[in-house]
């Protein structure tokens, strides 16, 4: 195989959800649709890589320094929903059941993987929580790392006089928000409980 092609396939195969087999299929498909698909895709990739950045307030991905959600005056600024990554934020937005603000941690605590509190967007969350916030909802996955992170944040937030709640986990263990259907997510949000009161 040509080395340029081989490189492209190798890179694609490293993407989540893909592997060598699907990468080869994708590259063949792109080459068969160069003008309609491949070149526009290359252009989009370049544009997004240049323009999209993390919101300095919440960690969401957007074109501005402060994202559209954080600038939206219609949203309830008293409530912050903490999620693991932007994929989970998108899932909550797709479900259209939540009208507050978000905070994207950018991962969960894992000593084994060397991800500690300083590697996550936690200091900024504590700063935000000290400013005029009434409730922090921890919408973290039911995995070991997600729940350890929820415990950790609860401990850090509890000295502040705000309510800390978490999603009701009728959610399968290891299930991530991104894989939940909208109805389940709405239920989990409605049935959220104060931590320690279950």
Partner 1 sequence: MERQQVAPGRQAEAQLTSLSLRDFRNYADCRVTIGAPNVLLLGENGSGKTNLMEAVSLLAPGRGLRRARAEHLPRQDSGGEQWAVSAELLTAGEVIRVGTGVPADSDSGRRIMRRDGETVSQTEIGRLLSVSWLTPRMDGIFVDSPGARRRFLDRLVIAFDAAHIGRTNRYEKLLRERGALLAEGRADEAWFSAIEASLAESAIAVTAARQALIADLNAEAAAGWFDFPGVRLALDGTVEDWLAEGSALQAEDRFIAVARTRRMAGDTALAGPHSSDMNAVNSHTGAPAHLASTGQQKALLIAVVLAHARLQARRLGRPPLLLLDDVVAHLDVARRAALFEAVGAVGAQAWFSGTDHDDFEGLDAQSLSISADAGTASITQSEE
d(CA 103, CA 57): 8
Query: Counting contacts by CB under 8 A, is residue 168 touching partner 1?
Result: no
* Binding span for partner 1 by CB under 8 A among 38-46, 98-106, 108-116, 124-132: 108-116
Cβ density class 47-83: b for 16+ within 10 Å, e for less? eeeeeeebbebbbbebeeeebebbeeeeeeeebbbbb
Please report how close the Cβ of residue 88 comes to partner 1 at its closest, in angstroms: 20
- Exposure string of 119-136, with b = 16+ CB inside 10 Å and e = fewer, is ebbbebbeebbeeebebb
- 142 and 173 Cβ atoms separated by less than 8 Å: yes
Residue 128 is a binding residue for partner 1 (CB under 8 A): no
Identify the burial level of 106 via C-beta atoms within 10 angstroms of its C-beta, where 0-12 means exposed, 13-18 middle and 19 or more buried: middle
The alpha carbons of the chain give a radius of gyration, in whole angstroms, of 20
From the list 36-44, 47-55, 124-132, 144-152, the region that binds Zn ion by CB under 5 A is 47-55
Nearer to partner 1 by Cβ, of 46 and 172: the residue is 172
121 binds partner 1 (CB under 8 A): no
SS3 (DSSP) at 56? coil
Question: Looking at 21, 74, 131, 159, which residue binds partner 1 (CB under 8 A)?
Answer: 21
Nearer to partner 1, 54 or 143 (CB): 143
The residue from 151, 162, 168, 184 that contacts partner 1 (CB under 8 A) is 151
Is 104 near Zn ion (CB under 5 A)? no
CB of 76 to partner 1, least distance (A): 28
Nearer to partner 1, 12 or 104 (CB): 12
- Phi, then psi, of 181 in degrees rounded to 5: -80, 165
Site residues (CB under 5 A) for Zn ion? 55, 57-58, 60, 67, 70
Site residues (CB under 8 A) for partner 1? 17-22, 109-112, 116-117, 144, 147-152, 155-156, 173-174
């Amino acid at each position: 195989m040509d080395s340029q092609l081989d490189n492209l396939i190798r890179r694609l195969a490293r993407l989540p959800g893909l592997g060598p087999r699907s990468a080869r299929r994708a590259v063949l498909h792109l080459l068969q649709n160069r003008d309609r698909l491949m070149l526009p895709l290359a252009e989009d990739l370049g544009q997004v890589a240049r323009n999209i950045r993390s919101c300095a307030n919440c960690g969401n991905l957007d074109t501005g320094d402060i994202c559209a959600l954080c600038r939206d005056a219609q949203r309830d600024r008293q409530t912050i929903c903490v999620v693991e990554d932007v994929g989970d934020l998108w899932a909550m937005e797709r479900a259209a059941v939540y009208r507050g603000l978000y905070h994207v941690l950018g991962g969960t605590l894992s000593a084994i993987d060397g991800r500690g509190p300083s590697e996550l967007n936690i200091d900024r969350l504590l700063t935000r929580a000290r400013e005029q916030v009434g409730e922090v909802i921890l919408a973290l996955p039911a995995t070991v790392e997600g729940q350890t992170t929820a415990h950790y944040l609860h401990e850090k937030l509890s000295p502040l006089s705000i309510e800390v709640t978490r999603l009701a986990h009728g959610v399968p263990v290891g299930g991530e928000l991104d894989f939940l259907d909208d109805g389940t997510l709405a239920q989990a949000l409605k049935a959220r409980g104060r931590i320690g009161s279950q």
